[in-house]
Chain A
Amino acid sequence: MTNAAAAGSANEKKQGFFARYWARNKATDNNYLLKRDVARIAAGIFTTVLLFGLCFLILQPLLLQFSNSIMSRNDLFDPTVISIPREPTLLNYQTATRLMSYWGSLFNSLWVTALVAVLQIVACTLVAYGFARFEFPLKRFWFACVILTVLVPPQVIRSPLFLNFHFFDFFGLVTLFTEPLMLTNTLTGYLILSATAMGLRNGLYIFMLRQYFRNMPKELEESAWVDGCGKLRTFVQIMLPDAVPMLVSCFLFAFVWQWTDGFYTSMFLREYGVMAVQMAGLGDAFHFDYVRQVAAATGTQGAAPPIALLQAVISTGVLIGIAPVIVIYLFAQRYFVESIGQSGIKM
């Protein structure tokens, strides 16, 4: 069919596009060409409308938060203003920045989150490499334990974990020398968890990294070994440089999820003024601030802030709170999206 069409189109070059198309269509059985192309175009339009519509659905709350965040008080109460404010203002940003002590929190969050994420990924990489490349007794059992850490919701072990860290006594080792340590609300406690690959979703990172290491050619290590390279050195000098894209992906996951995490943050990092705590507490902080200000100005006690205003301030806080991770995501999107494909997750 294509040959005939090519020959036909050479003869009919002078005719218009539609005439030529019609002639080719007539040459096929039962208007096959026309039917096929109409179906294709219709499917394309349908797909585009559907996908971009769903994109809008996902982005819409973000856009709404943004438009709320630049509204002044009058706009918030004006029923004729829906999404574009009449008097755009940065007042909400000032309030949210002040109540979250934004710049300090940003700095704290950045170093705390980066430190924790790096430690987690180092631990997970070591463990993943151990699972991917060595044969040892009980290997299947220990890997089943990795899966178990993914399956157990952290909330299930929350009370014992909290109590154990509140009176930290590592199998009686600490009390040999001194009193039990209080490691809740300290970074040390979370660093211990991270260094032993027990932080937020670390089982998942071990799983992904193990798959990645398993897919790397074994010959690399064998030749290094023949040349007299030790196991640790092979790992550091031969395997790690090749695994950098996957390590970056896992680090980004760890960073982003740690940034918004509420569970471990509330147990260990409350005192560090990290962004997750500030975002979660912004609503109440604004409430108290409003009450105090009204009391100072008019003497009225217990005036609750209007809900629209409260929502606008919270929206602003969330926007500026997640702005850093959104920026990271936009620049490193490729790493996020490719990581799972590279790891080749299968069961």
Chain B
Amino acid sequence: MDKAAKPATRGMTMAGKNAVSGYLFIAPFIIGFISFMAYPLYQTVRMSVSDVRLDLENNGFSMELLPSVRNVEDESFLAALFSNFRRAFFEDAEFTRAIVEELGSMLLLVPAIVIFSLFIAVLLNRKFFGRGFVRAVFFLPVILASGVLVGIESNNAMLIAVQQQIQDQNAMQAGVTGVIEDMLDNMVGGAGIGDFLEYILDIINQIYTIAMASGIQILIFLAGLQTINPSIYEAASIEGATGWENFWKITFPMISPMILVVVVYSVIDFMVRTDGEVMEMVEFAMQLNEFGFSSAMAISFFFIIAAILGVAGFIISRLVYYYD
């Protein structure tokens, strides 16, 4: 490559040569991004406002903007254009509920995942017997909770039929935490504390889900903890700081940039998991060849996630402390 490139780049400045080589290195990504990410994204947006028809004779598919296809009287141009979105949000019985539920469980789980993984990372960062084993096990969910393995046990025709029944049964049986919940409710009685306790108990009930979702997050925090200079702790303990103070005044501020990374990662990971209800609806609509409707749901969901990430990122980045 060098021999061939030399004559072409002769007479260019150093910066110019650098720019050319830089673009050559990232060329695969640019080609891939434009043809397999940017263009499909554009097409998704277009599909959501179009009537998509598979055209098997011409080996392709055709898209026509919805207003020119729909023949509904008294329908304005915009109303026709966004009719797929209207259908998703106002006519479909499931979509709005699914999104709200998904967001609800996200608001419950993501903070829990962040706190849990930070807690575990701090514990794993200390020396104790069997640390290698424990680390290996905590990271195992990266394999066990990926791809088709999620929900594989219920992912066949027969179990889908009986699943609803199983869920109903589970809802009827009060678990151990159910009993504790009742006792606490009777004891405390106050509304505010009761709600908080319920949140905590909800999380305890889902501890397995949380542990399975925190593999990478624990690693990110561990990596962050190991970059903290030990001499800071040394100085603090000479001044008489306790472990508790050390955590809140040194570890937490130093690790705060990682919290942003972990929040972003957890939100994305939670949203794109394969057994998410919204994603299943998107997939299902596509299997029915309703490409427009499927795209409209996918796009709305993506923008909702992006908005949440934007807000969360803005708030957290205000609180993050950068040491250097």
Residue positions of A touching B, CB distance < 8 A: 44, 47-48, 50-52, 54-55, 57-59, 61-62, 123, 126-127, 129-131, 133-137, 139, 142, 145-146, 148-164, 167, 169-171, 179-180, 193, 195-198, 206, 230-233, 235, 256-257, 259-263, 265, 276, 279-280, 282-284, 287, 304-305, 307, 310-311, 314-315, 318, 322, 325-326, 329-330, 333, 336-337, 340-341, 343-347
Q: B147 near A260 (CB under 8 angstroms)? A: yes
Task: List the B side residues contacting A283 at CB < 8 Å.
Answer: 152-153, 155-159
Residues of chain B in range 126-142 having any CB-CB distance to chain A below 8 Å: 126, 128-130, 133-142
Q: Contacts A284-B156, A333-B136; is A318 near B149 (CB within 8 Å)?
A: yes
The CA-CA distance from A280 to B37 in the complex, in Å, is 27
Q: B36 near A196 (CB under 8 angstroms)? A: yes
Closest residue on chain B to residue A235 by CB atoms: B25
Q: Contacts A57-B208, A318-B149; is A135 near B18 (CB within 8 Å)?
A: yes
Q: Does B307 contact A (CB under 8 A)?
A: no
The CA-CA distance from A142 to B268 in the complex, in Å, is 21
Task: List the A side residues contacting B251 at CB < 8 Å.
Answer: none
The CA-CA distance from A31 to B248 in the complex, in Å, is 27
The CA-CA distance from A327 to B156 in the complex, in Å, is 27
The CA-CA distance from A169 to B58 in the complex, in Å, is 13
Task: List the B side residues contacting A55 at CB < 8 Å.
Answer: 133-134, 137-138
Q: Does B74 contact A (CB under 8 A)?
A: no
Q: Contacts A58-B141, A158-B283, A325-B143; is A347 near B261 (CB within 8 Å)?
A: yes
Tell me the minimal C-beta distance from A270 to chain B in angstroms.
Answer: 12
Q: Does B175 contact A (CB under 8 A)?
A: no
Chain A binding site: helix, strand, loop or mixed by DSSP? helix
Q: Does B114 contact A (CB under 8 A)?
A: no
Tell me the minimal C-beta distance from B149 to chain A in angstroms.
Answer: 5
Residue positions of B touching A, CB distance < 8 A: 1-2, 15, 18-26, 28-33, 35-41, 43-44, 47, 59-61, 120, 123-124, 126, 128-130, 133-144, 146-149, 152-153, 155-159, 162, 207-208, 211-212, 216, 219-220, 222-223, 226-227, 257-258, 260-261, 264, 268, 271-272, 274, 279, 282-283, 286, 291, 294-295, 298-299, 301-302, 305-306, 309, 317
Q: B142 near A134 (CB under 8 angstroms)? A: no
Q: Contacts A47-B123, A196-B36; is A340 near B146 (CB within 8 Å)?
A: no
Q: B222 near A196 (CB under 8 angstroms)? A: no
Q: Contacts A230-B2, A279-B148, A311-B153; is A127 near B61 (CB within 8 Å)?
A: no
8 shortest interchain CB distances as A-B pairs: A196-B32, A130-B25, A283-B156, A134-B22, A260-B147, A230-B2, A160-B43, A136-B22
The CA-CA distance from A337 to B61 in the complex, in Å, is 46
The CA-CA distance from A305 to B162 in the complex, in Å, is 13
Q: A198 near B33 (CB under 8 angstroms)? A: yes
Tell me the minimal C-beta distance from A122 to chain B in angstroms.
Answer: 9
Tell me the minimal C-beta distance from A32 to chain B in angstroms.
Answer: 12
The CA-CA distance from A312 to B37 in the complex, in Å, is 41
Task: List the A side residues contacting B212 at CB < 8 Å.
Answer: 58
Tell me the minimal C-beta distance from B230 to chain A in angstroms.
Answer: 16
Q: Contacts A139-B22, A152-B302, A314-B152; is A123 near B28 (CB within 8 Å)?
A: yes
Closest residue on chain B to residue A137 by CB atoms: B19
The CA-CA distance from A338 to B275 in the complex, in Å, is 30
Q: A44 near B128 (CB under 8 angstroms)? A: yes
Q: Which one, B1, B32, B271, contacts A198 given CB within 8 A? A: B32
Task: List the A side residues contacting B47 at CB < 8 Å.
Answer: 159-160
Tell me the minimal C-beta distance from A183 to chain B in angstroms.
Answer: 12
The CA-CA distance from A139 to B28 in the complex, in Å, is 15
Q: Contacts A159-B47, A180-B59, A230-B2; is A280 near B155 (CB within 8 Å)?
A: yes
Q: A345 near B261 (CB under 8 angstroms)? A: yes
Q: B223 near A340 (CB under 8 angstroms)? A: yes
Q: A52 near B302 (CB under 8 angstroms)? A: no
Q: A145 near B158 (CB under 8 angstroms)? A: no
Q: B134 near A52 (CB under 8 angstroms)? A: yes
Q: Which one, A123, A160, A171, A341, contacts B226 given CB within 8 A? A: A341
Task: List the B side residues contacting A198 at CB < 8 Å.
Answer: 32-33, 36-37
Q: A134 near B25 (CB under 8 angstroms)? A: yes
Q: Contacts A58-B141, A126-B25, A260-B147; is A155 near B298 (CB within 8 Å)?
A: yes
The CA-CA distance from A325 to B137 in the complex, in Å, is 14
The CA-CA distance from A150 to B269 in the complex, in Å, is 10
Closest residue on chain B to residue A54 by CB atoms: B211
Q: B283 near A310 (CB under 8 angstroms)? A: no
Q: B159 near A130 (CB under 8 angstroms)? A: no
Q: B309 near A151 (CB under 8 angstroms)? A: yes
Closest residue on chain A to residue B32 by CB atoms: A196
Closest residue on chain B to residue A288 by CB atoms: B157
The CA-CA distance from A162 to B286 in the complex, in Å, is 10
